[in-house]
Amino acid sequence: MQNVYVLGTGMIKFGRYPTKTVPELGGEAAILALKDAGVGIKDVEMFACGNLYQSNAMVGQRILQQIGQTGIPVVNVSNACATGSTAFREAFLAIASGMYEVTMAVGVEQMGKAGLLGGGGGAGGDPAYATEGRLGSGLMPAVFGQAGIEHMRKYGTKMEHFAKISVKSHQHATKNPFSQYRNEVTLDDVLNARMISYPNTLYMCCPTGDGAAAAILVSENKLKQLAGGRKRPRVAAAILTSDPWTDRTASLPDVSTLTRRASKQAYAAAGLGPKDIALTELHDCFATAELVHYENLGLCGDGEAGAFIDSGGGKHPGLGGHDPVNVSGGLLSKGHPLGATGVANICEVVWHLTQDERAKDRQVPNAKAGQAHVIGLGSACTIHVLTI
């Protein structure tokens, strides 16, 4: 397989854009990425677009109607919360296979104030899998609340540990102009906020909204022609997993196994280990999710996430922490427009590896490798490792 590099990235501020359409949002991010890469739409040979809520509406082709139609192949991707990152992987594979040399990935979503409550019907209403009202709830706040409770039961984790994640992420977001919310919260603010699904209070849950992010990927040959001497990160691993077969446990969906499998594969493909990773952007749809993923990604041992947090784990080194996680503010502050999240996480890692101006106020020092992780229950998990 050919080496693949990220030549350019673009992202709009996450928020709410009621007067704009999904193709307009995606088009803005695409144009920003093209400008950052120093190429035009005519240079792009293949386009992968990730969008969930309008997945039957050929969003990729509609974006090209905004920025310039050239007749290239367009792949539209829908893969739950891993939609955008799966589109990025398709653009990566198109080059790694040797078929193309310049591709583009865009992740875009317009959710407004729609709640993150998918899954309540259970597998699209399939009665064989629907647990709603019989075995707890299949709504996302409840599913990840259950994951947190299970960690508390098994390892003695305290509610304060989850709350500290929210405090940390909100503090990180104050340095990110692309974040939907940029307000700090105290531990008491988080603990005393309205309960959504125990142990997750309001500030432990990600906000939804609108957003778009894009990336231009190139082969090594094209990198030499187009980079102009700029160091660009290599995609060292692009992993996609789903749940393996297990005896069904409908009362407690598994939010960990597919990440553990993807993480093992990603480290092997990249030839790296957790200690080599300078920063991680992971899928913190809820504070409980971030905590369990510390262990799933090998940032600490099983049962050690509470101690990891207490020691400053996950916090930016400039704030006295180590092994920084979600220095963008994460989904908890940046927001979670589903189709955009995966590409946005990759953009954040790229900016730190290249010391991009867009991350200057939160730059992780000496960043040589980073990873971006997203899961979608149902299930899909992507992990991309990038190195410079």
The contacts of residue 13 (CB under 8 Å, 6+ apart) are 177, 178, 179, 180, 211
CB 81 within 8 A of CB 331: no
Phi then psi dihedrals of residue 170, to 5 deg: -65, -35
Sketch the domain layout of the chain as residue ranges.
Answer: 4-112+206-387
Q: How far is CA 120 from the centre of its chain?
A: 22
Residue 136 has pLDDT above 70, yes or no: no
Residue 320: count of CB within 10 angstroms of its CB: 8
Q: Are strands 380-387 and 46-50 parallel, antiparallel or unpaired?
A: unpaired
The pLDDT assigned to 122 comes to 41
Q: Which fold has domain 4-112+206-387?
A: Peroxisomal Thiolase; Chain A, domain 1 (3.40.47)
Q: d(Cα 205, Cα 203) in Å, to the nearest integer?
A: 5
| Cβ within 8 Å of residue 264, ≥6 positions away | none
Task: Give exposure, 192-216, as e/b (b: 16+ Cβ within 10 Å).
Answer: ebeebbebbbebbbbbbbbbbbbbb
Asked whether residue 183 carries a pLDDT value surpassing 60, the answer given is yes
Strand 369-376 relative to strand 195-197: parallel, antiparallel, unpaired?
unpaired
| Overall average pLDDT of the 129-149 stretch | 78
The answer to whether the CB of 89 falls within 8 A of the CB of 237 is no
Residue type, 259: T
* Alpha-carbon gap, residue 179 to 172, rounded angstroms: 10
pLDDT at 245 over 90: no
User: What's the pLDDT score for residue 113?
Assistant: 76
What pLDDT shows up at residue 129? 58
Higher pLDDT, 244 or 175: 175
CA 188 to CA 292: how far, in whole Å? 22
Query: What is the per-residue pLDDT for 139?
Result: 85
The gap from C-alpha 15 to its chain's centroid, in whole angstroms, comes to 16
pLDDT tens figures, 295-347: 999 999 999 999 999 999 999 999 999 999 999 999 999 999 999 999 999 99
Question: Whole-angstrom Cα distance, residue 278 to residue 388?
Answer: 11
Residues whose CB falls within 8 Å of the CB of residue 75, separated by 6 or more in sequence, listed in order = 46, 47, 48, 49, 60, 87, 90
Task: Read off the pLDDT of each residue in 249-253 and give the average, rounded to a whole number.
Answer: 66
The string of pLDDT tens digits covering residues 92-126 is 999 999 999 999 999 999 998 776 544 433 445 56
Query: Structure tokens of 11?
Result: 């992202």
Round to the nearest angstrom and report the end-to-end CA distance of the chain. Answer: 18
Share of the chain above pLDDT 70, in %: 93
* Separation between Cα atoms, residue 284 and residue 282, nearest integer Å: 6
User: Contact at 8 Å (CB) between 311 and 356?
Assistant: no
Does pLDDT of 252 surpass 80? Answer: no
CA distance readout (Å), 259 to 282, 296, 298, 316, 336: 10, 6, 10, 23, 19
CA 187/CA 366 separation, integer angstroms: 30
- Mean local confidence (pLDDT), 42-63: 97
pLDDT of amino acid 120 = 38
In degrees, rounded to 5, the angle at the alpha carbon of residue 11 between the alpha carbons of residues 8 and 13 is: 160
Question: Which two tokens mark 239?
Answer: 């992993």
At residue 251 the predicted structure's pLDDT band, cuts being 50, 70 and 90, is low
Asked if the model's pLDDT at residue 42 lies above 70, the reply is yes
Residue with tokens 């899954």: 119
* Mean pLDDT taken over the chain: 94
